[in-house]
Structure 1
């Protein structure tokens, strides 16, 4: 069990997952508030799954936790098992269509290029020389070595998520950085890339 009441992880090839360990709802909310305050750009508009420890008491109020997240701009789109398998998509996910629009089950090789009119999930890696363009967000649950361009039609709420950042280029709504301009702390690590004003913000996904 985590020593913290709550953390944020990517489980398998799923969405970023908020894992709840503590039966103390106030402690969970306090920890979430601190995480959001420290990295507001990371959480704003983020799609997350919820994962509740199996030993939480029946009276634990999941709705209070999820309403807190939604009130702070986080999209709660699914609930998962301990292994990250999706149990159910939430009503808000269905109504807001927050679930990614396209899933690519294979890695992209050098020279391959895909374009998505919504958000896209790539379950493998993106090799050097490959390119992903999406009008929404890009989720790469392998390694990102190629080019990733999110929000290509100007969606400033789009973001890029990857398990391992080593991209040749990343761009959100036309604001870009090349590989030699990447944030040093993000290289080789799970992170998100999103707009913070008129510049790109790199945030660690693991809390």
Structure 2
């Protein structure tokens, strides 16, 4: 059995001149985003006044799920209360989940298990401002190209009117909604299934479940 890997967490601190450097980086990024067609209104709403979030960098260094064996990771998340809640949701949303299973061929038990592991059925969606978190990670430099692309996709989602910049909340790493989609995953797999023309993975259970099943079918 694999042992825990004990990694030394690097606690990042931003020097006094870091904000100036970040502002310069953000100005250049804003020009790039505008050149790719993202509106000035969206850029203003999402990027004005944001600063590097030191806590996000610290969490990126630590990533506790990678310090555990997979069996320990699952054991901590597959609890009796979570199983009970999953069964209750299978009954509560039976008609919806039956329709989703029929359309995508993803067993509803698998979809609900995925939902439970990702956000405990929507109870832990995350409260980090997604544009600020992604800008911090893109600026930080460890995986800047990846997070720069995610930030551009997040801005495209806002620009399309699916969610406002202030309401785009999620994990420190940029994952959003009931199924914790990264912005690129959202753009590739998320669906509007409640008929309001918006893809709302935060509040709409039909949107979230159809999107989750679509992802599991096509990417899983």
TM-score w.r.t. length of structure 1: 0.24
TM-score w.r.t. length of structure 2: 0.23
The answer to which structure has the higher helix fraction is 2
The answer to which structure has the higher strand fraction is 1
